[in-house]
Every structure is written in structure tokens, then in C-alpha cells.
A and B are shown apart, each in its own frame.
Chain A
Amino acid sequence: MTVFYFVAILSIIFALMTIFSRNPVHSVLYLVITFFTFTVHYVLLNAQFLAVVNFIVYLGAIMVLFLFVLMLLNLNKETEPMKSNLVKIMAVVAGLCLLTTLIGSLQLVEASNPVILKNPEIGLVKHLGKVLFKEYLLPFEISSILLLTAMIGAVLLAKNDPKKA
């Protein structure tokens, strides 16, 4: 139980450092650590399939994309555009208002039961695979089309236009 709170505090700290560090490369590295703590959260929930997918997709694929683009564009602390302090303070106040609203609406919910894994097998690959390929077969196939579309779109967008260049 204490493991959850420890990891939760770590996630919050690293998420804050992600958005407040001035150097974009440091931001990406803090984001990697944040995603790693999320993987630990999935392991704690015994969602093993999600833990593995989170690790591979976020820490592997998405982080490489971010780091690659950051280093390709050669961004660093000197070129980093920053907003004025007034805008920053107003943004933080607005964000805290949002948080207060969310927590306030949480008070309407009656006191919650602890998360008890009724069926610890639920997050295992075997069980999830059965659900995925029986009930959610059509959305699964459609998501493959989505990924294909995204790939084609990304190539088309990032490609140099030969007529212009």
C-alpha cells in the first residue's frame, strides 16, 4: 500500500519537473522517468499486459521520437522560448482552479472502497487476448487502419516537397 503512495509522489515530482525544466532535453528525460513510474503503477494493479505495452510504446517508441526530433531540430536552453511570468502565474492559477473543481466534485462521491483485485487474472496477457480478439475484434482491426493512416500521413507531412525545394 505504501508503495503506491511512494510511486505516486515520484510521478508527481517528475511530471512537475517535466513541465518546469528550461532545457527541452531534460524535459524529455524527466518524462521518461514519469512514464516509468506509470509502468510501476500498472504492475501494482497487476495489469501486466498494460505494463509491458506501456514500457515498449512510451519508453521505447514515443520517447525515441521525441528525443530524435529534439536533437534533429537542435533545440537547447538558449533557443527555448519562454512565456512571461504573468502568463505563467495565471496559467498555474487556472490549473489549480481546474484541480479544485475536480477534487470538489470528488467530494460528492461517497467514501470509496479500497481497490481490491476481485479477479487478479484480469490483466494477464492470456485473459486480455481473449477479450481483445472476441469482443473487440472490429475496433482492433480499425486501429490497425488508424496506425497505417498515421504512418502515411507522417511520411507525407515530413517529406520534402520536390517542386518547392
Chain B
Amino acid sequence: MEAIVNNIQGVPLNHYILFSSIIFTIGVIGVMIRRNAIIIMMSIELMLNSVNLLLAAFSAYRGDASGQVFVFFIMALAAAEVAVGLAIIVMVYRNTRSVDINSLSRFRW
């Protein structure tokens, strides 16, 4: 365990922010380029995860455990979000026979 703790010493905090920004951007791009609703939800998961990692990094950097507790709450929220979202997708698929988000445009008025 000491080896693991020593391993991280020296990575600047900026690189964590940079890495999380890149993953977050990949998630945003994924939301924009795909039409499959399930893959859009997967991209949202990517964004949530990048934010989680950044919170954990800041928490370790400041020596404050609150950040990691917050990550725990975000994970609970992500689980709830996925369950409801996939239920909605299954319902939409049952009605339209497709998971294409463009087929949802019939919901507008």
C-alpha cells in the first residue's frame, strides 16, 4: 500500500483537471454525435465519472473526506438515473420500435 501511495506523489493537480476535462469533452461529443439513446446515456455516464474522479482528486489533495462522500452520493444518483432512463428507453422502444432519439420528435406539439 505504501508503494501505491508513493506512486501518485508528484502528479500535478492541473493534470487531473486536464484529464477530467478531456473525458468530460468526450462525453459531450458522444451526446452530440450519436442518435442511439442508450449510447447517449453511456456518454452521460462518462461525464459523471470524470467529475467523480476530479472530486476524489481534489479531496485527496486537500486532505478533506467530504469530497469522497460526495462522490459516493453521485454514484447513488447515477444508479437511480440509469434505472429510470433505461426504463424510459424500453418504454419508448415498445411504442416506436426504435431507440433513435429522432423518433422522439413526435412528442413535441
Contacts and interface: CB of A to CB of B under 8 A. Distances in A.
Contacts of B68: 47, 49-50, 122-123, 128
Given A66-B38, A115-B9, 4 more contacts: A8-B15, A66-B41, A113-B61, A114-B10
Interface in A121-160: 122-123, 127-128, 131-132, 135-136, 139-140, 143, 146-147, 149-151, 153-155, 157-158
A83 interface: yes
B76 A146 contact: yes
18 contacts: A4-B7, A4-B15, A15-B26, A38-B53, A43-B4, A47-B60, A50-B56, A54-B52, A57-B78, A57-B79, A72-B90, A81-B36, A117-B9, A122-B68, A123-B56, A135-B66, A157-B88, A157-B91
B12 A113 contact: yes
Nearest to A91: B32
Contacts of B43: 18-19
Determine chain B's interface SS by DSSP, over half rule: helix
| Chain B, interface residues (CB within 8 Å), range | 35 or more
Interface string B16-53: 11110111111111101111101101110110010011
B42 A44 contact: no
Contacts of B12: 111-115
A61 B79 contact: yes
Contacts of B17: 106, 112
B60 to A, nearest CB: 5
Contacts of A8: 15, 19
A46 B22 contact: no
A98 B83 contact: no
Contact of B93 (A27, A53, A73): A73
Contacts of B13: 112-115
Given A24-B38, A42-B53, A119 B63 contact: yes
B30 A19 contact: yes
Contact of A157 (B33, B69, B84): B84
